[in-house]
Homo-oligomer: A and B are copies of this chain.
Amino acid sequence: MNTVPVTIIEALTTMVTGLRAVFRTQVSRVARACCVDGVLEPELLDRWQLPSYELAFAAAELLAAETVLRRSVAAGSELRARLGVTFAAELCRGLLARLRQVALDLTDDATALDLADDATAPDLTNDATALGELAADSGWQALCRSVLSGRALDEMGRRVCESQEEIGAIDLAPDLLLAQNEFRRVAAQVVGPLATQIHRQDLTVPEALLAPLREMGVFGLSIPESFGGTANDEHADLMMIVVTEALSEASLAAAGSLITRPEILARALLAGGTAQQKSHWLPLIASGDPLCAIAITEPDYGSDVAGLQLKATRVEGGWLLDGAKTWCTFAGKAGLLMVVARTSPDRALGHRGLSLLLVEKPSYDGHAFDHRPSGGGRLLGKAIPTIGYRGMHSFDLSFEQLFVPEANLVGEAAGMGKGFYFTMAGMVGGRMQTAARALGVMRAALLAARRHAADRKVFKAPLASYSLTRAKLARMAAQFAGCRELTYAVGGGAHDGDGRLESSLIKLFACRSAEWLTREALQIHGASGYAEETPVSRYFVDARVLSIFEGAEETLALKVVARGLFEQALETLEAGTPCDASAGTPCGAS
């Protein structure tokens, strides 16, 4: 199917396998260092933040390399396979450095680790030695020369510039391919012409854009057909990713992000709503009328959901909401807000004191609103101006004795205290979708850079004729194609359990990649890339939000990914390693 030499595939496979082995022992070691009596201790986790952070990114990179080896390199077209090789080789080189850093941390903290007496722990210098051997392997060295040298990148870049084939092409089922083409068409024809204006004038997403998307069923992608949606049991996540990516290519803020909110709300309702709530709300959400918004974050509590304070006080027939929310995207335009509120006065309950309340409100087009419902109370909203991600606006919200009827508590009595869990149901999809959003922005930036490099002449020749430009385009194309392969693999079900870990990995990885790629794309444009009239300047500022929202990078890496990895490692240890508690083994003992 392609002409990638077997020696290259073998060298890559050897390297990835070796890196995975080192990674596994490192995860296991840090996990053990972070626990007392087999339980992860917050204080120790905090102390080990740096290696944990590196391991979280390493987990994403390893998964990406493995996925690309399996999917692109083994069976892809010539371009796909070669981009896969470039991508995997760059990742491996980065991983060698990353795992060396972790090895450093482990060695440095060897005494603190207190593993000296632990017969099950291998010599701590082993990791560094193993990494050194992997790097010195002659197959790997030869691979670096033939894949990562300037000449190889130049040649890869030439292919990227000249290829008529789609960059980042993957195998899609016919209905997904159809959707991709259809949504790319709508994105280009309907969203594209409005995107720059919406961004530069900080407009609210207009009806001219919403109407066709409603018609195409965009708001019901996660909602089963029985509730008026279009979710396909076979590959609902993939469909969401396809549509999100296609729309984000035209505009992250005014199109690609419209689906995130109904996604989270619909999953919360499916997870916890009463039959009555589901049959009432889901068809409305699916139709895109009302539009919806999700109010979780509070001014003093960003990622710390357990600390949320917005208070819901029980009154005759319902609840009164008091408090503040912030960064509530689309709250103005939305007719329905999902509000995470503290329905129990007992603060010690943490996230078990939170429930979900649905607030109905009029839809407002502007940057501020003052809603005083006849039922009493008040809801004030004010958009926060941002450097990018404009069009939906993110609001500061102030709730003052706002009345919400009993029927709008998700799950009613059974939903009390379950708000956190219902929200989590939507977060996996939200993170996959955010990876897809990053893909859309990357594709737009990559294609714009390639176009510009072909058109723009410097020193009398097109930019694309210079090897530095070509190498940049090669790396960008490889990064995009690799992210895409990974995101679609995870979206297609390549994950454990509910996919909480893998969805976080692809979110972390794709968002960071988008920051880097849009920076490079802007640089290729030179000064014109810094002008607001050139779309790449928008891709750059839009991409900057990706590592912040839907789980800030640091929180996701530490609290979800690293923690998840450590828990898995401890389970494995508990299951497989005979641990003698009396010998002072710090954890793994039951």
Contact = CB atoms under 8 A, between A and B. Distances in A.
Contacts of A519: 515, 544
Interface residues of A, number: 73
A397 interface: no
26 contacts: A47-B467, A49-B150, A49-B471, A50-B150, A51-B150, A104-B144, A104-B150, A105-B151, A107-B145, A107-B149, A108-B146, A109-B150, A302-B458, A307-B460, A327-B527, A384-B533, A386-B530, A387-B530, A387-B537, A388-B530, A523-B547, A523-B552, A523-B554, A527-B549, A527-B552, A530-B545
A547 B525 CA distance: 12
Contacts of A545: 530
Contacts of A467: 46-47, 49-50
A539 to B, nearest CB: 11
Interface string A544-578: 11011100111000100000000000000000000
B558 A468 contact: yes
A462 interface: no
Contact of A104 (B149, B532, B548, B554): B149
Identical chains in the assembly:
2
A541 interface: yes
B105 A150 contact: yes
Contacts of A384: 531, 533
B385 A145 contact: no
Given A108-B146, A297-B527, A530-B545, 12 more contacts: A50-B471, A109-B150, A132-B136, A300-B457, A302-B458, A304-B460, A307-B460, A386-B530, A387-B387, A527-B549, A527-B552, A540-B544
Contacts of A49: 150, 466-468, 471
Nearest to A42: B459
A399 interface: no
Interface string A135-155: 010000000111011111110
A319 interface: no
A348 to B, nearest CB: 13
A53 interface: yes
A53 B553 CA distance: 31
Contacts of A200: 385
Contacts of A97: 97
A101 interface: yes
A444 B459 CA distance: 37
A46 B462 CA distance: 13
A459 B526 contact: no
A395 to B, nearest CB: 12
A522 interface: yes
A129 to B, nearest CB: 11
Given A46-B467, A50-B467, A459-B304, A101 B530 contact: no
B540 A105 contact: no
